[in-house]
Amino acid sequence: MTTARRDTYTPETLLSVAVRVFNERGYDGTSMEHLSKAAGISKSSIYHHVAGKEELLRRAVSRALDGLFGILDEEHACVGRAAERLEYVVRRTVEVLIAELPYVTLLLRVRGNTDTERWALERRREFDHRVAGLLRAAAAEGDVRGDIEVRLATRLVFGMVNSLVEWYRPDGRGTSEREVADAVVQLAFSGLRRAA
């Protein structure tokens, strides 16, 4: 038996423990027992805060999705030439991804076995769709190349951005958030090749 700590959790702090365990064990592989052990409180104490693990998942991916969709409402994402708006969205996505690293990591690993997971996948597709729309507009305005199919280009650019969850570690030596965001924007828009 674990000696249960006194429950000093708020929904917020409990969520951060749950997200860590989901990312370590996978959502499917996590039981309420695992959450209870990781939090050091009883299962009934957890049920005092949430209806179950799916609610924790929903709250966690909502936090990531709110961060991402919030970007699209920011002024620089709405005003100006589409290419500049797109560049802004790419940079801010890197920033949100780093600021909410465990939450976005969980969102990106969601596979779609429960209603919440299917909803999260649907929202991710909606975000990709909005960004693809920006890219299409930028191509129509002549600022972005038109020879790569828009959906494919969107997937590749966000493949690069999203790869951060696999290797970016905030306390790692070196690479700052700013340096990563600059590098992503430079590569996505100008590529590796030195301008002639």
Residue 40 Rama label (left phi>0; alpha psi -120 to 50; beta): left
Alpha-carbon distance of 141 to 34, in angstroms, equals 52
Residue 170: which residues within 8 A CB-CB, separation 6 or more? 98, 101, 177
CB of 189 to its own copies, least distance (A): 5
Q: Which residue stretch of 30-38, 66-74, 97-105, 158-166 sits at the interface with its own copies (rule: CB under 8 A)?
A: 158-166
**Residue closer to its own copies (CB basis): 1 or 195:** 195
Kindly write out the interface string for residues 108-147 of this chain, putting x where it contacts its own copies by CB under 8 A and - elsewhere.
---------------------------x--x---xxxxxx
**Residue closer to its own copies (CB basis): 17 or 180:** 180
Choice from 68, 71, 107, 157 touching its own copies (CB under 8 A): 157
Choice from 9, 22, 88, 158 touching its own copies (CB under 8 A): 158
Cβ neighbour number for residue 2 with a 10 Å cutoff: 9
CB of 9 to its own copies, least distance (A): 28
Q: Would you list the DSSP string of 52-88?
A: SHHHHHHHHHHHHHHHHHHHHHSHHHHSS-HHHHHHH
Choice from 18, 65, 68, 164 touching its own copies (CB under 8 A): 164
Q: CA dist 89 to 79, 156, 170, Å?
A: 12, 15, 21
Kindly write out the interface string for residues 75-104 of this chain, putting x where it contacts its own copies by CB under 8 A and - elsewhere.
--------x--x------------------
Instruction: Give the count of alpha carbons within 13 A of 112, CB side only.
Output: 6
Cβ neighbour number for residue 104 with a 10 Å cutoff: 25
User: Rule CB under 8 A: is residue 156 a binding residue for its own copies?
Assistant: yes
Q: Which residues bind its own copies (CB under 8 A)?
A: 26, 28-29, 83, 86, 135, 138, 142-149, 152-153, 155-164, 166-167, 175, 179-180, 182-184, 186-195
